[in-house]
Amino acid sequence: MIDPRAVALRDRLRWRLIAAAATPATGDGGIDPGIVEAYLRSLVADGADALAVLAHTGRGPHLAASARAEVIARAVRIGVPVLVGVGGRPGERVADVVASATQAAEFGVDGLLVFPPAADALALHDALWRATGLPMLAFDLYTRPYPTATLAMLLDHPGVAGVKVARLHDAVACQASLAAAHRANRLAVTGEDRMFGPSLMWGAQAALVGVAAAAVGITAEVLRAFRDRRYADFVTASARLDRLAAATFTDPMEGYVQRMLWIAQQEGRIPVGYAVDPYGPPLPGQERASVVAALR
């Protein structure tokens, strides 16, 4: 049976756009809390209903506890629902993930986005729930997808409010995971930047996407047009978003964070020296121009 705390988060996030925020940084990974907060506030001002910080787009697994604390604190003071990514670091123990979640809970966040672990996902979610009492979104990620039976068990956990589905190019798996969320009466959340519009038609009722790390208005319009049954607007907005996603979520796929930072800088959200992803692959110099052209 689902816990009332998970019910509350599930219902609060339904039909909401949760921006998977980047973490503005310098080339050596340094962050400025003021720049982080200004960037996050700009996402909310332009249409994000909630924030997911320190997730994959925010490079959470790479950041030290002190940097994570700065980002979480600045996000919470904005006043919208905040989810914090936990886990995802190679070789980490359950105790390490619990420590990150406990730190987040101390700042008063609303929930956790749990990276899929290498083993025993149910035990990890249960440990986080017992330690923090924070409702969770499971994360069905294309690099470590959950088997059908494992996802069903996670969606039966009382502290799991829903699942973010990010299968990238596997449409059949995306549909199956969204359907599993509905069967379990949990929130079906799309994380499908390259299948955003279709995933809504397949049953997603909220969005937590890296494409909303910038270009928030375009992303929000797709979700809201579908929610409001403005289907002609939905088709037009979805086509616009698809063109942008095709330029940003492409090989090398890990380069999408840098591409979204370029867009955020172009939109005036981030100063030049902080629109850097120090953890991603190098990208060709001419690629920035093509990404900016897609935005325009």
Contacts 24+ apart (CB under 8 A), 237-243: 238/196, 238/197, 241/196, 241/197, 241/211, 241/215, 242/194, 242/196, 242/197, 243/294
Q: Which domains, and CATH codes, for the chain?
A: 4-295 (3.20.20.70)
pLDDT digits (tens, 9 = 90+) for 121-154: 999 999 999 999 999 999 999 999 999 999 999 9
pLDDT value for 285: 79
Q: What backbone phi and psi angles, to 5 degrees, belong to 120?
A: 50, 65
User: pLDDT band at residue 11, thresholds of 50, 70 and 90?
Assistant: very high
State which H helix or E strand residue 103 sits in.
helix 94-106
Amino acid at 259: R
The predicted structure's pLDDT at residue 166: 97
Q: What is the pLDDT of residue 292?
A: 86
Cβ pair 225, 231 in contact under 8 A: yes
Each residue's pLDDT tens digit, 143-199: 999 999 999 999 999 999 999 999 999 999 999 999 999 999 999 999 999 999 999
**Model confidence over 47-74: pLDDT tens digits?**
999 999 999 999 999 999 999 999 999 9
Cis link prior to 61 (omega < 30° from 0)?
Answer: no
Cβ atoms of 231 and 223 closer than 8 Å: no
CA distance 77 to 99: 22
What's the predicted TM-score (pTM) here? 0.96
Q: Is 278 left (phi over 0), alpha (psi -120 to 50) or beta?
A: alpha
Q: What angle do CA 34, 36, 110 make, to 5 degrees?
A: 115
Q: What pLDDT digit, counting tens, does each position of 232-283 carry?
A: 999 999 999 999 999 999 999 999 999 999 999 999 999 999 999 999 999 9
Q: Is 90 exceeded by the pLDDT of residue 290?
A: no
